[in-house]
Structure formats: structure tokens, C-alpha cells
Structure 1
Amino acid sequence: MDIALLIEHGLNGLQFGLMLFLLAAGLTLVLGIMDLVNLAHGSLYMAGAYFAASFTGLTGSYWLGLLLAVGATALLGVVLELAVVRRLYRRDHLSQVLATFALILIFNQAARMLWGAAPISLNVPAALATPVQFTQDFSYSAYRLFIIGAGLAVALLLYFVVVKTRIGMVVRAGASNREMAVVMGASIGRVFTLLFAFGAALCGLAGALLGPILTVQSGMGEGILILAFVVIVIGGIGSIRGALAGALLVGMVDTLSRTLLPVLTRSLAPEGLMADLGAALSSMLIYILMAAVLFFKPEGLFPARG
């Protein structure tokens, strides 16, 4: 395989991993601190993509649409937490799964009612439409580079907030021992609302950033939600560092395996069963990785309670 193509897919894996981190960061804190299994997390990602498409169309500016989409998704998260999610904290996980699964159906149907059943296209901003030419033989999408930079910036911001600020101290205390944090005077109700809104904002950012690359359509959050759960299981529930490590690992493994394994198996056996084995193995590999991590480190690579 050409080295330039390998570098391109490596960058694609990095970009995909950082977008998974935006989804997994909020999800792992919600599950680790609030003890809430939120299957509707992917629906907030879908909402962010729809908001970005709508606000971009209204304002004529992708960047303004991006900011408004993040704010609107955070506000939607606050409304959702106050109206529905707050009633689920003391329920068992089965009740939470059923309730948030119902929210998925409600969000999908609401998206069809508001935006229609047809997919919506969101164009790449004109300033980033031209690829960046690194060498004579290698160029890469400027917009994907922007996504990588935005993902790294958010990761650094999250590190600063979680490690260096008082609210971050409360978040880490809640992830480590929620009962003790309550005893020590932390306002858990307020923290829960803020945390849920924060996770929703990250979902909105991921949806708005991926909207120009992927198709904006109803139900787009379900598939990526599964990967987000894989990420937090690998990284460790409640751990931001684990979410970043798990997201980068899953993003690189998923992208490179889908590129390299089919080529490798076709070179070994151009025809017959082995020709399709690479595609099958690439779709299974991240789940094999998750099973291996659970076998050797059941609490994940960087558990919050470690």
C-alpha cells in the first residue's frame, strides 16, 4: 500500500477518534457520576447536526451556525434533564434503558416531523473546501484537519477544567465516590444539570462538525452511540483520560482495519472465502479489542476509581 494513502487513513482514524471522544466524554461522566444509562445520548448528536444545518441555512454562515447549534443542543440538554432525566436517577438501570430508548424514538420522529424524512446536506465552509497540499504527491482535506485541531483543543480544555478548576474537582470527586461528594457538601443536583448540559453541548459540537462529512438524517445517532459505549468500556467509566485513550484507540483500529485487512486478505487469497474475510474481521475487531481489555482490565484502561 502507498505510504501517502496509509498516512491519509491514519489521519482519518485520528479525526474519527477525536469525534468519538466528544461523544464519549459526556457519556462517560453521565454514567460514571450520575449512574445514568442514557441511550438518548446519540440523539443529542443528531440534534446538533440538524441544528447546525438549520442555523447555517438561516444565517448563511457555517461558523455562526456551529456556535448556535452547540448552544441550542446544550439548552436542549438542560430541558431534557429537568423534564425527564431527573426522574430517572433513583430508578434501576432497566427503567433508565427503557425510558431513554423511548426518547430515541421520540427524537427520531420529531426530526422527521420538523426536517422531513429526506437527508439534509451540510456543505463544508468555503474557507476549508480546498485540500492542504503537504507534498507534491500528498494532500489532505483542510476541513478534516480543522476537525482534528478542534478535537485536540476540546481535549485540552477538558483536561484544564477537570484537573485545574473547582467544578472539575467536584466532577472527579463524584466520579470516584458520589456518596462521599454529597456528604462533603457538593450540590449534586446542580452539578447533574450542568454535567448533562455539558455532555449535550459536546454531542452538538460533534454533530455539527461531522455534518458536512456525513449525511444529516433521522436515526444517525444510533450507530455512533454503540461505538461511544465501546470507548467508555475500554477507557474506564467516569474517566476523561480513559475516554480520550479509548476513543483514539477505537478510531485508529476501526479506520485502519477497514483499510488494511481487506487488502491483506485479498493479497493472500484473491478469490473465494478469504477475499471477504478482511471486511468481516474489520467490523469485529473493535469488539474483540473491547473483550480483550475487559478480560485483562475489567475496569478499563484508566478507571476513575483507580
Structure 2
Amino acid sequence: MTERPADEATEAFVAVRNLLFTVAYELLGSAADAEDVLQETWLRWSAVDLSEVRDARPYLVRITTRLALNRLRSAQRRRETYVGPWLPEPLLTAPDVSEDAELAESVSMALMVVLETLGPTERAVFVLREVFGFEFDEIARAVDKSPAAVRQIAHRARAHVEARRPRVTVSAAEARAALDTFRVAVMTGDPQAMLDVLAPDVVLLSDGGGVKQAALRPIVGAEKVTRFTGGAMGKAPGVVTAETVVVNGAPALALSVDGELDAVVSVQVKDGLITGIYIVRNPAKLTRIAEETELALR
């Protein structure tokens, strides 16, 4: 095998690193697992003969996808025994991500939750095709399927996601307005203000990972959600503060107790009302809130 200069390998990898991370994260829902996949991708890439590679971008995406698929299959077995709902790991993202509608939608908590309902191969095909725009032939090589099979999988996955994903595009300003109202209601403990900003059929999911207290099942309905949030705030062991941040390309709340990050709250908004609330309290999933994560679709 012909060796190539380390700087040449590094340059090719770094050029698409943010893309590779985004692919791995959207497949796995875990930044920690995505970083592990990138390390494995680099190790494999550093041993490849560049003369055998016509285009580094799809080649590296193929390696990343295969590694992520292997990890996702193992992760799904672990998630079957997870305590309570499993939510994706929230990422602090730059404010301008929310202005990129395509990127913001692709990493939104609402879509990431829907992706969890797909099988590993369906998820990979959907993400590579619908989010990153790869051709069927490229996807086929990444998932070890025929192009014809990939087309069928893509059709099924698209129908599955479309039936469950939010159908209304909400501006960052509209989402922020609803979130601000929600934040004030939470901090003041005003149940009527909370009811006014919640859709009647709002659904709340909370992820404590068996480490922090959280609802073990989805909470459905404005009144039940209001009681739950009010009760949770009442049981807080210290002074609670709420900071508005940009998480997964959308406005969210970082809740701290006595200055320590305790939870990240993301919301789904439609017609000015909150239809979905995602609360992540598992400490292992709150490590990417201190520093912005760079994402890319191309």
C-alpha cells in the first residue's frame, strides 16, 4: 500500500469533518457516539491509498455511515432497556444555524425524535437522501444495498417520517416568542400563563436516563403538562434560572439549579402554541451545551 503524507490525509478529512459529524449525529442522536465514529473514520481513512480515491467526500461519508450503522444497531439494543423515554443528545449551536432552515430542520429535536422510530438502515437511507442529497448509487454503496432496494427503502422511510414530522415551518422568531412565554410561566409558576401557551394536545417527553428524576412515559394534554412542570419546579432543590440558548438550530432553555446545568428544554411550535416539549436531564447528555458544535450539510 502506498503511504501518503499525513498532512494530505488531514487536509482531506478536516475539509469535511463537520459534514461527517453531522451525518453521524443524525444517524445516532448522540454527539459522544458521533465523535467516536469520527475517530474510527479517521483511523481507517489514514490507512487508505489516495490514488484509489476519486472523491474524498463520498468516500469518507461511506466510511462514517457504515461505522455509524454498526454502532446504531448496538445502541438500539441498549436503548430497549433505557429507563424512560430516550431523547437525542442536545447540541448548543450557533445562532446563525436557526437562520439556515434546511440545516435547522435536519437537526431539530422534533425530527430527531421521529428518526428514532426508523430502523437503522431506513434511518441511514433517509438521512443521506433527504437531508444530505446523496444519489441512490452513493447511498447503496454506503449501506451495502442495491440501488433498487435503496429506492424502495427511501420511499418507505420518507412516508414514515412525513406521517410523523411537523408539517408547519416555524420561524425562529415565532418559536422564540412561544418559548419566552413558556419560560416566564415556568419561572413565575403561573398555571394559566402556561395553559395559554400550550396546545390542548401537547406532548411532553423527559429523559433522565435513570439518573435524574423524569417522567417515565409521555405526558399528554395541556393540564397534565402544566401540573407536571409546576410540580417539577416546586421540587427543585435550589435557585432555578433559565437561559435562552440555541439548541439543535432552534431556541431552547438551559435550566440551571444553583448555577449548575440541570436540564435542556426544547419545544415544538405550531400556530404560536407549543405542541411538543422535550426535556433532557440525563447528565451524560448535557456535555455539549457549554460550547457550540459546528454542523454542515455539504
Higher relative contact order (CA 8 A, sep 6+): 1
Give the structure with the higher percent helix.
1
Give the structure-1-normalised TM-score: 0.27
Give the structure-2-normalised TM-score: 0.28
